[in-house]
A and B are shown apart, each in its own frame.
Chain A
């Protein structure tokens, strides 16, 4: 029987989204986490508005980055624990295809989810109103690349008992360029410069990472499981 790849992709995507929807309450945790980090930052720095406001774009970006990182470990671990991952590996559908469906689902749920929640974060940090759309645009773009890096990191660490600090050591340094270009986009808006250059670089990097990540993650999963 001819295997329909698009059907398989859609089925995998639907499964992920349905799972996320069933456990939609869990999505509040990363969101609450971003607000918590912002609160801790404001308390640590002191309530001086000018200082807070100048750092607000970068801090908001960083809060989302950290919250996104925390959900990376959940990309494969639950599936490994209940044996679903083995099914993924022996499936006749090419593994990179299934992984790209998972990447897309992860980005839609966590990346877009946190981006949509960022206005509240921006309000807490007193982000100037003209920077909010730019922040959301930068987050939407940069979270694609971050999700892709997370996919690779999660695939490399899934055979281990816990991802934990090692996962941070693997994933966070690779976030650096996305952080730089993403925050650079917001900073450009804050300085009254055109945001296009920084945003294009973020988009380029995200496209590059999202293209390669499913293939690299597939190799990583096979390495760890055979």
Chain B
């Protein structure tokens, strides 16, 4: 082959290879679940260890918020309408925090109580993150399949 054509071929192969690697990693990243979190059912099934940081997602159970008078400490219950996890949080809740609304809290489990360091609320009342909705649906489906009584339904 002519040297110049060979050089060009090598350049094109190198370009395609590099861009191929980039595409591969992009697709791999998109396959990963970005919004990974555990539901109260996962927590009670022991999928997470005590003390390890993770994200807990679900709906704030109605009439469960209790504020302590003197400190910023708040406790409330997160539910996937099947199982409940009590949450303790020391800080200011986001403005959009409301009972009956989905939240995602970051923190760790301590004797069955989830100690949150950050609580995120989703902003629209009608809007529920797709993943939370999916988790709720899944929990309900397994419950129905097992014939378990569903606690805390509306």
Contacts and interface: CB of A to CB of B under 8 A. Distances in A.
> Do the two chains belong together in a single complex?
yes
Interface in A175-217: 190-194, 196-198, 200-201, 203-205, 207-208, 210-212, 215
Given A5-B10, A94-B11, A211-B14, A204 B55 contact: no
B25 A200 contact: yes
B129 to A, nearest CB: 15
Contacts, number: 70
A196 B28 CA distance: 9
A50 to B, nearest CB: 10
A225 interface: no
B53 A201 contact: no
A3 interface: yes
Contact of B15 (A190, A203, A211): A211
B3 A204 contact: no
A183 to B, nearest CB: 15
Given A193-B55, A194-B36, A3 B3 contact: yes
A5 B7 CA distance: 8
Interface residues of B, number: 27
Contacts of B11: 94, 96, 215
B18 A207 contact: yes
B29 A208 contact: no
Contacts of A203: 21, 25
Nearest to B108: A192
Is chain A's interface secondary structure helix, strand, loop, or mixed overall?
helix
Interface residues on A, range: 20 to 34
B19 interface: yes
A2 interface: yes
B32 A196 contact: yes
B18 A191 contact: no
A214 B14 CA distance: 11
Contacts of A211: 14-15, 17-19, 21-22
Contact of B29 (A94, A190, A197, A210): A197
B5 interface: no
B32 A200 contact: yes
Nearest to A54: B117
Given A200-B25, A200-B29, A204-B25, A191 B55 contact: yes
B24 to A, nearest CB: 8
A203 to B, nearest CB: 4
Nearest to A189: B53
A194 B55 CA distance: 11
Given A5-B7, A5-B10, A194 B22 contact: no
B145 interface: no
B7 A194 contact: no
A197 B32 contact: yes
B47 interface: no
A89 B22 CA distance: 29
Given A200-B28, A211-B19, 8 more contacts: A5-B7, A191-B106, A192-B52, A192-B108, A204-B22, A204-B23, A207-B22, A211-B22
Interface of A: 2-3, 5, 94, 96, 100, 190-194, 196-198, 200-201, 203-205, 207-208, 210-212, 215
